[in-house]
Structure 1
Amino acid sequence: MSWPRADVLRTDRLSLEPLAVEHAGEMVVALAPRNLYQFTGGEPPTLEELDKRYRRQLRGQSEDGRAGWLNWIIRSAGGGPNVGFVQATLTREGADLVADIAWLVTPSKQGRGLAGEAASAVVSWLTSMGVGRLQAYVHPDHTASARTADRLGLVPTSTLIDGEILWEAVTTSLAHQQEGAR
């Protein structure tokens, strides 16, 4: 199966660059604050770990080809250091293309709507690529991520996996919501 490749995406304030191995050096700084892992667990990655992870992600799909991987680095539209990332894992459920999305903004840049703006650009792009359903997993105590998911038109479900709530939306309902918000 051939999966789409990430395109450069732009918003009024942001530029989303497709992931490159060269991003590891600056992303290690953005991912260093320990409070980023409050809800997800884990530790800040080392440069070597990020380099290895990015090389694997740049294959664009899982080893068995059943999942496609899309990753963007977020930075200001005017340039400067990155502020985080958005990623989408694509799978097929029957004829439907499903995207599991995630976002992260470094703590010093949080609270400005950047995660929602970046993720919205990715959601619009995914919808244009034929994605029929979007989903994200959000820790029940992570109110900022819940606000971002809500802004994207996702709604929480009763499904809890690894301590996180599944949020989802069918993209036709997203398009209707976005038209109503204009």
Structure 2
Amino acid sequence: METISAARLTLRPLTAQDADEMAEVLAGEELYAFIGGAAPTPPELRARYAALEARRSPDGRQEWLNWIIRRDTDGRAVGYVQATVADEGRRAEVAWVVGTAWQGRGYASEAAAALAGWLRARGVARIEAHIHPDHHASMAVAGRIGLLPTDRIEDGERLWTWDRLVP
């Protein structure tokens, strides 16, 4: 995995060593209003990130690509972006999370745009995101990176897509 650069941010491959810092970033309970769950502990994150460092699902059919979002000004972590790449590299499911202390500054849009650009440059033909219908900030991010809402609802979330072949 490579580092991805954006205007004010750097996306660095996520590792188990990032767990303590990311536990602080992901600590706000309000962060889970739309995505469910609760703030993870450092040991929980360490275990999750260690598993993700395989960069592949156990069956080898998916790439698990995860980056920590760092501000260029001070190197501080503000969130993460992820892509699950499937269908022999043709389709990617993306997600972004920015800690509540850093929301409203355009970090999610900038990081998601950098990720989407990187995926498109790799030849990914379809980018997808599932977004809660009341999560207006995430819908705005999806729109900024070129995803469009569909009529498809899965587990209470609307599917947003970008397709290379759709004008």
- Shorter-chain TM-score above 0.5: yes
Match of 2:54 in 1: 59
Q: What is the 5 A alignment of 1:29-178?
A: 29-92=24-87, 97-171=90-164
CA contact (8 A) 1:96 1:133 kept: no
What code does the residue aligned with 2:12 have? E
Q: Which amino acid aligns with 1:30?
A: V
* Greater displacement, 21-30 / 164-173: 164-173
Q: TM-score, normalised to structure 2's length?
A: 0.96
Superposed displacement of residue 20, structure 1: 1.4
Amino acid at match of 1:120: A
Deviations 1:82-129 (A, max 9, x none): 00000000010xx66100000011111111111010010011111111
- Normalised to the residue count of structure 1, the TM-score between the two structures is 0.88
Contact 1:10 1:77 in 2 (8 A): no
SS of the residue 2:90 aligns to: strand
Distance 2:37 2:89 in 1: 32
Count of residues in correspondence between the two structures: 167
Indicate the percent of aligned positions where both proteins have the same amino acid. Answer: 45
CA distance in 2, matches of 1:159, 1:13: 34
Shift in alpha-carbon separation, 1:149–1:158, aligned structure 2, 3 A: same
Task: Tell me by how many angstroms 1:172 deviates.
Answer: 5.2
CA drift at 1:164: 0.3
SS in 2 for 1:75: strand
1:17 aligns with 2:28: no
In the TM superposition, what is the alpha-carbon distance from 1:79 to its structure 2 partner?
2.9
